[in-house]
Amino acid sequence: MQKLNRTLLENNTHMIPAKITSNIIFPAFHLLKGDGLWSKIKEYEKSQWFSYDRLKEIQHQKLNALLKHSFENVDYYYKLINKYGIDINKSGCYNNFLQIPFLTKKKINENREQLIANTVKKRDLISNSTSGSTGENLFFFQDKAAMLPRQAMVWRNQKWTNTLYTDRQVYLWGAAFDIKKNNSIRGKIHTWFNQSISLSSYELSDRSMAEYIKILKSHKPKLLISYPGPLTTFAEYLIKNRETISGIKAIITSAETLYPWQKSTIAEAFKCNIYDRYGCREFGTIAHECEKHEGYHINMERFFLEVIGEDGMPVKSGKSGEVVITDLDNYCFPFIRYKIGDIAVCSDSICSCGRGLPLLEKIEGRVFDMIIGPNGNKVAGTFWTLALRSVSGVKNFQIEQTDVNNIKIRLIQNHNYSGKSEKKIFSIIKKKLGSEINIEFIYVDNIDLTKSGKRRFVISSL
Ligand SMILES: [Zn+2]
């Protein structure tokens, strides 16, 4: 906490108005530095208003270029494309693209060296990894050329929240990697521009939350960025203690599924707009809510996104399926048709904001968070959070499937909980998964977060 307060004091010495730093110093810094970030941000700010057809054309050109590069320079894809006899040079190679088998975490971990393009120098590779808290751990690479569009897209999406590039930010965040990164030179510059501070989402005790309130009131951020789980805990604390933090223009939630009940609790506590971001360690921001909140705009200049059913074919609008991503910018370690492990509902609606970027209707959670009943039913995380929250007396819970016939429920109860609540939960679960399912209730005072500080409501060990 002392360290945080010190950062806070240092940041308070930079009292230049945000509009000046945002509109003049921020672009000038990047133009002088020659890193290309400012022109990339401008490019994306322009292209978001292109028609869907024009964006599709840009996307297909980028896809063709990526496939050609991967075939010529990446051993893994050279072998794969040859093995399946896919002619990627044929005009309209999109249909051929769909013949490329899906990439998985397991395949990457088994073929990591072969996935590195032979055009890249080893010293230029930037290693990165996923936490592995919700599935298999993954190690992969990026380079500067891949990082630039990734960073520029974060800025484009952030502007949708009606905040300035350099508005003060607070992160309520848990990933040790990100907090460590903030100590790098790049991180320090970012911190200076945004006068941003990070608060750990690991330890949300009454004491630390009281301290966080003081920090927020003193730092006066315009933008708050957080995992939904810890932010909901914090919001509940604010409501319970009748505390308000004024001046926050927007909240970005990210890295976990944002459930409707969490959104309303956060909105009640902070009284500002909440924008959900769909992103991941591998790619940065994939899709983001705009000011109209009619779904998640897919950043299609950067990604080819598919939503597939169990048969591997695209699902219809309004149906849920597994998300498959092709990163159109990472040439040093290409991700082509990568099963990211998330379930989303696709949409053919057009957002009233006028952007040509297509929409995802909602993000339903992780593939690993599916509970499979002895009756064969597969039930996504969103169902469980809605169903169990509707039971009287359930304060918080975690459902874990240990094998196909057994689930454990860790439950934090409040004073409204009774025998009737337990019976109701039994009935909800048996109705959904079949009467053969065994349910073990474990009543607890606390449910541990993952090592990256996330809250998991559903865990499947299948
Ligand atoms: Zn929109």
Asked if the structure places residue 411 within a domain, the reply is yes
Which residues of the chain are under the pLDDT cut of 50?
A: 1-13, 176-180
The answer to whether residue 55 sits within a structural domain is: no
Q: First CA to last CA across the chain, in angstroms?
A: 40
Task: Determine, yes or no, domain membership for 57.
Answer: no
Distance 331 CA to ligand 1 centre (A): 29
Structure tokens at 346: 């696709």
Distance of CA 294 from the midpoint of ligand 1 (Å): 6
Q: How far is the CA of 227 from the centre of ligand 1 (A)?
A: 22
The tokens 């806070």 sit on which residue? 8
Ligand 1 centroid, distance to 82 Cα (angstroms): 41
Residue 440 resides in a domain: yes
**442 Cα–ligand 1 center, Å:** 43
Residue whose structure tokens are 């429920």: 409
User: Ligand 1 center to residue 352 CA distance, Å?
Assistant: 6
Cα(299) to ligand 1 centroid in Å equals: 12
Per-residue pLDDT at 386: 76
Total of domains in the chain: 1
pLDDT the model gives residue 176: 47
**Under 8 Å between Cβ of 417 and 394:** yes
How high does pLDDT run on average in the chain? 87
Ligand 1 centre distance from Cα of residue 304 (Å) = 19
Residue 153 included in any domain:
no
User: Which residues are 148's β-sheet partners?
Assistant: none
d(CA 377, CA 28): 56
Does any domain span residue 123? no
pLDDT at residue number 380: 74
CA–CA distance, 335 with 142 (Å, rounded to integer): 11
Q: How far, in Å, from the CA of 436 to the mean position of ligand 1?
A: 45
For residue 418, give its domain range. Answer: 370-460
Task: Decide: 188 and 182 in contact? Cβ < 8 Å.
Answer: yes
All residues with CB under 5 Å from ion ligand 1: 290, 292, 351, 353
**CATH number, domain at 378?**
3.30.300.30
Ligand 1 mean position to 154 CA, how many Å? 16
Per-residue pLDDT, 185:
60
CA of 289 to the centre of ligand 1 (A): 7
Q: Measure 438 CA to ligand 1 centroid, in angstroms.
A: 44
**CB-CB contact of 282 with 141 (8 Å):** no
252's enclosing H/E stretch is strand 250-253
Predicted pLDDT of residue 189? 61
Task: Please tell me whether residue 400 adopts helix, strand or coil conformation.
Answer: strand
How many CA atoms lie less than 13 Å away from 433 in the CB half-sphere? 26
Give the number of other Cβ atoms within 10 Å of residue 153's Cβ.
24
- Residue 301 has a pLDDT of 98
Element (H, E) at 422: helix 419-433
pTM: 0.83
Residue 409 lies in a domain: yes
> Residue 223 CA to chain centroid, in angstroms?
17
Residues 6 or more apart whose CB falls under 8 angstroms from that of 404 comprise 372, 373, 374, 462
Q: In the prediction, which pLDDT does 302 show?
A: 98
Considering the domain boundaries, does residue 2 fall inside one? no
